[in-house]
Amino acid sequence: MKRNFTACLLGGMLYAVLSGCATHETPDRLSRITGVSGDKAVTAEDQQGYLRSRFCQELLLRFGVKSYEGGGRTDALQRCLDDTASATPYPRDAFSIALSGGGARSASFSMGVLKALNHSGLLEEADAISSVSGGGYTSYWLMSQRFYGTMYAENLDGSLAEKLPATNRDYYANVLKGMAGSADVAATPFCQLVASKHQDEQNVDNLSPLFLSRTDGSILADDAYQRHIAAQSDIINYSSNGTVQALESGGLVASHVVSLPFYWVTDGFLNLRLINGSVFTNAYRKGLERAYGLAPNADHDEYVDYFEHEPDQFMNAQNGSVLFWRKASQTEELHFSHLREFALAYNSCADALVDAGQAVPPLSLPIINTKLIRPYSFIDDDENYDMASLEKSVFTFSPVQWGSAHTSYQPEQQLLAPISFSKAVATSGAAVDEGARQLRGLGDFFVSAANMNLGYEMRNPATQEGPMGSAWFWTYKLLGGFPLKFVVPEDYHATLRISDGGHAENLGLYSLIERGTRRIVVVDAEHDPDYEFESLKRIRANLDANLGIELKCAEDACPLAGDYIQRQGAGVFELTATGFPWQEPSQIIYVKLSLDENRLADNLAVPPKQACLTSLADLGEGAAHYSCNVARYYDSESAQRNAFPQNITADIWYSEEQYAAYRDLAYFIGVTKLTPRLNGWKAIIQAEREQARNLVDQYRAGRPVSP
């Protein structure tokens, strides 16, 4: 009450009609629900209410059921939210994946782990993929390939479709309309395509763009989708020609210098945020789109440097805002709403196909983790202004909702100012940004003065609702945020600043533990040459302090069990997260970027001109040796500082050899050390999903929920 009264009183005094009393409702935070804060007695209704208020929409999406229609909640969503007194517990996520930060190194390594999970049949089974920074590059690639992977088949009437639809992003909205009018969803052309692609995964000759081929025996086959990433892992330069790259870099620097005086006036002095980011912000995002967001057209056999030749080799290539004469200088804008429509269409088909006797898992939900840089206010009643708190610093994006436990979570479809999927991924990797690390002394000042900001100023989702939402935002913006940002309580700021999620939590693990995920595979590919496991130890301390959750070892060989310094092949180990009032411990399998030098000798003996050994059979009995891609690249850097596999995060100019080395190393670790620990997971996950599906069927049909 005090906060609401203060905000509205100040707004009325300063702006009369254009007051700051925007609708804002912050639900109970997880720390209260877990009982750590001691503010109240924790009840079963509290626990179930938290899970349902946060995740009912995701649960329905997983089975192709709409949550919002015509601007309001559907009956199915309302029934799920109201089901707090039922004896049926909320079905928590059965299995999810967390991909850590670490730039191109993490992106390349994560790609190999996903391949190993796909080889074991578990990649499709993931309820969510939570990513940070470089891990987000891989998630962005996977979601983009899946999104465009079913677009070039048939029209809804069964006739042959164009290979490149005029409006790719609206494709699934049209699919949903066609399915809504069909008496047999499983028989629609789109669903038949989904079924055939799922079956084709068993065909070793099929390289489906929808999923990674898992039975071909190779370490990510040399198909169009992998060749493109390998050739374009340099996410800054448009061309691979050295001379042209120098001109590109020089042009970026010159453009940035020219823009600085305007930035100093509009964003520095007046604080209008007209230049939201910098020249490098735009170049960085466009580079991510070219490297990880372009979806190759499977009809093309050759993929070449954009600067040399431009065939229609991609399904979603567009001319860039600057490089307007180059077709593939950026991708078409893909928003979270498009991903949600895709998930609704695909999951509706998957649900119908299950009824028809074919088990097709639903799509994984992408969760992009960023850091919320909290503003300072003279008028604020936050007695514990803790910047390290996970609840107060981790800000997430998904096709379902945006927000954090601190700002509240808002349904994505009700927001007035959506941002693209690629911008969220780029922001998650915005390593350089004012205030991101709370630099001491002049460091933060110089980052701001030089506009070396890769972060993003966005509208606060919590203040967009209600008739005054837009008026409050534009009033706040036109007045430059000054003195508003100092006198308005934090919860009522019209804008939020977000940056690299690794500055808050670099593993992407918190977002999965928060929802009580039962089984988690974590990929840790951060720069850690001494194997200190800094991010793991940091999240352990924060989980305990903020939420009363204990992260501990499930086996003897574990970096949290004491002195664990193993520079050669730290590999894979198990953890548990305990302390949730509503669940049994979460099982976590942790995959660490590491290399065992003793395995390299036989690989280095392969003649340089001989074809690189890539299949598990070629690598030796029991997969005893790495791919020669790993061995050769390690040997080429062995005398260098920060050598492979611990190349520094600032290195974003990856060659094909460097990309292949990280990818193949991860696949080897995944197949030899991760997969043996996953025995039995798939059957359990599928059984738990069927239980969740039965519950959703009751919400969908309007029948009373039975225990």
Q: Are 220 and 112 in contact (CB under 8 A)?
A: yes
User: Can you list the positions of beta strands (E) in 434-491?
Assistant: 456-459
The predicted pLDDT at position 138 comes to 95
Which residues does 469 contact at the CB level (< 8 Å), separation at least 6? 22, 23, 416, 463
Q: How far apart are CA 239 and CA 310, in angstroms?
A: 12
Confidence of residue 7 (pLDDT cuts 50, 70, 90): very low
Task: Supply the DSSP symbol for 293.
Answer: I
* Pair of tokens at residue 179: 């399915």
Measured at the alpha carbon of residue 270, what is the angle toward residues 269 and 276, in degrees to the nearest 5?
95
Encoded amino acid at 51, one letter: L
The predicted pLDDT at position 301 comes to 60
Which residues are bridge partners to 403 per DSSP? 396, 409
CA 433 from centroid of its chain's CA atoms: 20
Which helix (H) or strand (E) segment holds residue 495: the answer is strand 495-500
The predicted pLDDT at position 239 comes to 75
Taking alpha carbons only, the member of 482, 535, 499 closest to residue 373 is 499
User: Can you list the positions of beta strands (E) in 19-112?
Assistant: 68-69, 72-73, 96-99
Q: Are 574 and 554 in contact (CB under 8 A)?
A: yes
Measured at the alpha carbon of residue 434, what is the angle toward residues 509 and 450, in degrees to the nearest 5?
140
| pLDDT of 376 above 70 | no
In percent, the amount of the chain with pLDDT more than 90 equals: 30
Mean pLDDT to the nearest integer, 522-547: 91
CA 223 from centroid of its chain's CA atoms: 24
The predicted pLDDT at position 606 comes to 62
Q: How far apart are CA 65 and CA 308, in angstroms?
A: 46
CA 123 from centroid of its chain's CA atoms: 15
| pLDDT of 467 above 70 | no
Average pLDDT, the chain: 79
The predicted pLDDT at position 87 comes to 66
Taking alpha carbons only, the member of 706, 119, 690 closest to residue 350 is 690
| pLDDT of 13 above 50 | no
**pTM to 2 decimals?**
0.90
The predicted pLDDT at position 206 comes to 33
Task: Supply the DSSP symbol for 314.
Answer: B
* Pair of tokens at residue 146: 């899946």
Q: Sign of dihedral through CA atoms 326, 328, 330, 333?
A: positive
Q: How far apart are CA 17 and CA 8, in angstroms?
A: 11
Comparing 217-231, 390-404, 574-588, the range with the smallest average pLDDT is: 217-231
Taking alpha carbons only, the member of 261, 74, 253, 101 closest to residue 696 is 74
Q: How far apart are CA 530 and CA 168, in angstroms?
A: 46
Which residues are bridge partners to 370 per DSSP? 395, 500
| pLDDT of 576 above 60 | yes
Interhelix angle 656-669/628-637, nearest 10 degrees: 120
Task: Supply the DSSP symbol for 597.
Answer: G
The predicted pLDDT at position 222 comes to 55
Q: Are 96 and 517 in contact (CB under 8 A)?
A: yes
| pLDDT of 487 above 60 | yes
